[in-house]
Homo-oligomer: A and B are copies of this chain.
Amino acid sequence: MSAPLDRLSLNQATTERWSLREAAGGCARHGIGWIGLWRDKVSELGVAASARLLRDAGLRVSGLCRGGWFPAASPAERRARIDDNLRAVEEAAGLGTDVLVLVCGPAPDRDLAGARAMVADGVAAVLEHAAACSVRLAVEPLHPMFAGDRSVIVTLAQALDLIERFPREHCGVVIDAYHVWWDPDLEAQVARAGGRILGYHVSDWLAPPPDVLLGRGLMGDGVIELRRLRGLVEAAGYTGPIEVEIFNQALRDRPGDEVLALVKERFVAVV
């Protein structure tokens, strides 16, 4: 059964050339009720003006990308990263979402275990402020192909091991199909995530991928069993918005309205 279109959220990375104002207009034209924001896009107008724009457009915010990026070589730099996360928490609250997506960051050197400890310390340091702002920290495990430059948190099991140290009211995970689809332990781990899933993102895995960063596919163009995975995520209790987040250069180069039409079509057909 299709996911209902009222769960579709446009992650701004999909239509990366659009400003927030343009994306909000696109969502209005295509009847999309949710949007997933990026901080750099929000910064163009600022938080207050962005929030007003979204409210006027009747758009709800499924999450803000992104906090995280905790590991760093020096204590001063780690402190600066934490401060940036505290600001991101406030931005999320100001934008009317309670989900701050954390992309946890790479190691500053070759020490993965050390960097993973820095991630745990970073989440711990941001948690109280997040709770005070009624924002939940959503750890997103990234595909292991990003372990060297984007995230030392690379499996759902590992993300769950991390968040289970923290109160469930304030900390959970985002599951992105592109990042987790390959995992032999996926079914068990999605079930284990039950009650702590704060977001579900979709795109598709092209085989072979045309690019490391910008080679994601439109849903249906790749090999992920998207309907099955949504079933697992829903069985684990998540029935919130589904963000379409496609990092794909060719798609970014197309007119945004064409992209939204395609996204809606595929959302109904295969998500």
A residues contacting B by CB (< 8 A) are 106-107, 110-112, 116, 143-145, 147-149, 154-155, 157-158, 161, 181-184, 205-209, 211-213, 215, 222-225
Closest 10 CB pairs of A and B: A148-B207, A147-B182, A145-B145, A144-B182, A149-B207, A149-B208, A158-B184, A110-B225, A148-B223, A144-B144
Q: How distant is the Cα of A175 from the Cα of B144 in the complex, in angstroms?
A: 16
- The chain B residue with its CB closest to the CB of A211 is B212
Residues in B with CB closer than 8 Å to A215 are 212
Chain B residues within an 8 Å CB radius of A209: 145, 148, 212
| Cα A123 to Cα B116 with chains together (Å) | 36
- Chain B residues in 8 Å Cβ range of A213: 208
Cβ B106 vs Cβ A225 within 8 A: no
| Smallest Cβ-Cβ distance to A213: which chain B residue | B208
Least Cβ distance of A45 to chain B in Å?
30
A144-B183, A145-B145, A149-B207 known; 6 new pairs, CB 8 Å cut-off, are A106-B207, A110-B223, A143-B145, A148-B205, A148-B206, A154-B182
A145:B144 contact, CB within 8 angstroms: yes
